[in-house]
Each structure stands twice: as C-alpha cells, then as structure tokens.
Amino acid sequence: MIRSLCLEMIYGELPFCERIRAAAAAGYEAIEFWDWRNKDLAEVAAVTRGVGLPVAAFSGNRRHTMANPADLAGFREEIRESLEAARKVGARCLMLLTDRLLEDGSAAALPENLSASDKMEAAAVSLGEAASLARGSGVTMALEPLNTRLDHPRYFLDNSAAGFDLVRKVNVPEARLLYDAYHMAMMGEDVTSVVSGNLELIGHIHAADMPGRHEPGSGEIDYAGFAAALKRLNYTGAVGMEFSPSGGSAEAAEAARRIFS
C-alpha cells in the first residue's frame, strides 16, 4: 500500500510546500490535500517532483454538489477544471463530495422538494459524468461518504453501503469509493469488515482515529487490525492519513506511518 499524508490538518506551522518536504522526511510515499485552487500548482508540482512524492489525491468538487440535479452543469465544469489541475501535478485520484460543505463543516441545504431517491439518482448521474470525463486520463473518481453525527450535519451520503451501490450502478473502473475509516466508524460501521468485503470497489482510503479525529493509534479504532487486513488483501492503493495531530506534527506523522508499515 502507499502511505499518503494529507497536508491540510498537519504541519500547520509550515508553508504548504514545506509540508511536502516534511512528509518526505517523515517517510511517506505520497501526499494529498483538499482544495487545489488555493495552492500554487506549479510550485506543488516542482516540490513533489524534487522530493519524489507523488500527489495521491485532492478534492475534485468543493463548489458544486452531486445530489442536486440542478447543479449538474456546474459540477461537470468543476470536474473538467479539476482534471486539468490533476494533470499539472500528476494526481491520480479526485475526491468527490455529494454536498457543498460550509465553513463549519455542515452541508449546505438542498432544495426541500428533493427526495432521498432524487438525490441518489442525481449522485449516480454526477458520478457517471465525472467518470466519463476521466476516461483515458488515468485519474480515479473517488466518492466519499462522511459522518453526519458530528463533523458534517446534513451531508447526504453518510454510509458506505449507499456509496457502494452508486459505484456499482455506474460500473466503470474510473468510479470508486473513498472509504474513510474515521467517518464510517463514527457512523457505527465495522471498518475492517466493510473494507475486507468490498475492496474491489474502493479506490482510496482515509485514516484517522476516534474520538477527536487524531492520528491512527490514538483512539478506539483497531488500526493494527485494519492495516493487517489491507496487507492480507494485497491492497495496493493509497491510505491517506487525514488527521489532526494530538500533539506534535512530526510525532503524529511517525506514529501513523508506523501502524501502516
């Protein structure tokens, strides 16, 4: 597996591209981030090439939803722009959200007349459109369920079962699920069992512990067992450490890397 470090929540004392160098020094094999629009992509590309760390993933949509059919045109254009950004930095995965997130992490309200089935159908169409745009690019579209119990109230896709159903419905290699063990554990899932039973549908994994969303090994999730299962299943994709350090950034990065070594 490829150990990737999400640079949005760690090394906050450093400028962004210095965080890339810190991730390389910590022994990671890739980096990832959220919004590409607030990054100097030319500098990111130069630094990642210089230290030998590829960009595993970044957010494909932060402005347009997948669950509202009226947003499809805007979503499609945003994906086109994100694919061009991926080409510039060599990213292999775009992380997709069904909703637009507000500053506090909650999802922006959708029209009240949209039913759950309307939202599912819109999400399936949006995922299919994104996958179609990605065809031939080598970039995977990874749909991410999030928890609604604490971090992202009102977010539509809050369980992996519905996410896997959407991936199966689209049924192309460019469409996969981003399985975030923290978010799905927060929703009560047995994360090792779910991943073990659905690995062929997963294109990217995120790891943080609960409670607190700190580094793996700091809380209640059995990350030793989770990592062992990924090795047993010969998972070759990326595991993105997307956490807020419980103490110093360097120590937390090292602790997380060791669990997945």
* pLDDT for residue 124: 98
* pLDDT for residue 106: 98
* Residue 85 Cα to chain centre, angstroms: 16
What 8-state DSSP symbol labels residue 101?
A: B
* pLDDT for residue 190: 98
| Cα separation, 142 vs 170, whole angstroms | 12
* pLDDT for residue 115: 98
132 burial via Cβ count (<10 Å: 0-12, 13-18, 19+): middle
CATH number at residue 221: 3.20.20.150
| Number of domains, the chain | 1
**Residue 180 CB partners (closer than 8 Å, separation 6+):** 144, 145, 146, 205, 206, 207, 208, 242
Whole-angstrom CA distances from 242 to 144, 175, 238, 257 are 13, 21, 12, 12
Q: Are 244 and 6 in contact (CB under 8 A)?
A: no
Q: What is the pTM of this model?
A: 0.97
* pLDDT for residue 194: 98
Cα torsion through 156, 160, 165, 170, rounded to 10: 80
Instruction: For residue 59, give its domain range.
Output: 2-259
Could you report the average pLDDT of every consecutive run of 10 residues in the chain (261 residues)?
98 98 98 98 98 98 98 98 98 98 98 98 98 98 98 98 98 98 98 98 98 97 98 97 98 98 91
* pLDDT for residue 236: 97
